[in-house]
Amino acid sequence: MLRQGFNSLSQNKGLRDFAVGNPLARRVARRFVAGEEQGEAVDVIRDLNGRGLFATFDLLGENVSTVAEAHSTADAYVALLDAIQAHGLKSNVSLKLTAMGLDLGEGVAYDNVCRILERAQSYGNFVRLDMEGSDYTDVTLAIFRRLWQQYQNVGVVLQAYLYRTPHDVDEMIGLKARVRLCKGAYNEPPSLAFPAKADTDMQYAKLMCKLIERGTYPGIATHDARLINLAKRFVAKQGIALNRFEFQMLYGIRTDLQTQLVADGYNMRVYVPYGAQWYPYFMRRLAERPANLVFILSNLFRR
């Protein structure tokens, strides 16, 4: 119910416009979003790198409505890869296909991503296709398969709460493609996804262990200490090298745990979103964790 409620709020244009124009809301959102300009995000990642953390840039925005917007977003990603190279940052990039123009046609998105992959490839860098709502799962994987025939520096995200994901994990292991495994943040019907958190956690645990054992440098994207400890025990029991995988977390969440994992010798990557289109992302973070809402409300009454 909480996730469904925030999903509705994220689609409310009046509330979105109010939040985007409200200095307090923007300030609180900075806990999860590394600013609105590329330079601000570069400074954040430089600091993360200095503390032993890798990063992935995400320029916020989705469901663009014109080809010009899609091309502009792709241009921004190319410039982002240039900035990573110029500043010597330990970071790759993540992108949403709807920001590349997927709603306007698969060809639009494909061509834009190819341009980004070409630039990333020239720098020896990597691009991750984020997964969006279930309406886009099939087409995202179809475009990924097409890209994979030409590029080996592309990976994809799979969501553990979808019933279909064990099959998708097996396919990606077979391809030797890099997977980021997350739980899933979109409001999905019970016909497609586990409605109960315990079931999602159980599936996540099984897929996580399979990817660590058989996958190609998977990203274990979770803030759940129980799952992280399970991964650590599994790795120790199986004698798996720590450089075979990485943990991943969101910017602004469980920074203490991120730091501890690095100190313990694990690879740790932080997902760093930035950009003016921060509102939908911000609302999904609130929907995922009630503690995030408590943080927001407590800040509303502080000067």
What per-residue confidence (pLDDT) applies to 1? 45
- Whether the pLDDT of residue 290 is over 70: the answer is no
pLDDT of residue 167: 98
pLDDT per position as a tens digit, 123-151: 999 999 999 999 999 999 999 999 999 99
In the chain, the DSSP E strands lie at 54-59, 91-95, 127-129, 154-159, 179-182, 219-221, 246-250, 268-274
User: What was the pLDDT predicted at 97?
Assistant: 98
Q: How far apart are CA 289 and CA 228, in angstroms?
A: 17
Residue 277 has what pLDDT? 72
| Half-sphere exposure for 173 (CA within 13 Å, toward CB) | 16
Model confidence over 57-89: pLDDT tens digits? 999 989 999 999 999 999 999 999 999 999 999
Could you tell me what percent of the chain has a pLDDT over 90? 76
Residue numbers annotated as active site: 130, 180
Please name which of 292, 288, 283, 289 lies closest in space to residue 12, comparing C-alpha atoms: 283
Cα–Cα distance between 53 and 44 in angstroms, integer? Answer: 11
Of 211-215, 244-248, 280-284, the range with the lowest mean pLDDT is 280-284
Looking at residue 240, its pLDDT comes to 98
Among 103-112, 227-236, 273-282, the range scoring the smallest mean pLDDT is: 273-282
- The closest of 114, 116, 158 to 136, measured between CA atoms, is 158
Query: How many helices (H) and strands (E) are present in the chain, helices listed first?
Result: 13, 8
Say what the pLDDT of residue 255 is: 93
- The domain ranges of the chain are 2-9+45-300
Of all residues in the chain, what percent carry a pLDDT higher than 70? 82
For the cut 50, the answer to whether the pLDDT of residue 288 exceeds it is yes
Q: What pLDDT was estimated at residue 31? A: 76
Query: Tell me: the pLDDT tens digits for 17-31?
Result: 444 455 555 566 667
Collect all residues with Cβ–Cβ distance below 8 Å to 72 and sequence separation of at least 6: none
37's tokens: 């300009």
pLDDT at 8 over 60: no
What is the fold, at CATH topology level, of the domain defined by 2-9+45-300?
TIM Barrel (3.20.20)
* Burial (0-12, 13-18, 19+ Cβ within 10 Å), 285: buried
Q: How many residues does the chain have?
A: 303
What Cα–Cα distance (Å) separates residue 62 from each residue in 156, 196, 232, 296? 17, 27, 35, 24
Nearest in space to 81 (alpha carbons), one of 127, 29, 113: 127
Residues 269-278: what's their mean pLDDT?
Answer: 87
What confidence tier does 32 reach under pLDDT thresholds 50, 70, 90?
A: confident
Segment 289-303 shows an average pLDDT of: 46
pLDDT of residue 282: 64
Between residues 300 and 159, which one has the greater pLDDT? 159
Residue (of 182, 131, 124) closest to 156 by Cα position: 131
**What per-residue confidence (pLDDT) applies to 28?**
62
How large is the average pLDDT for residues 232-258?
A: 96
Q: Which residue has the tokens 């650590």?
A: 232
- Over residues 148-191, the pLDDT tens digits come to 999 999 999 999 999 999 999 999 999 999 999 999 988 899 99
> How many beta carbons lie within 10 A of that of residue 206, not counting itself?
13
User: Can you tell me the mean pLDDT for 212-226?
Assistant: 97
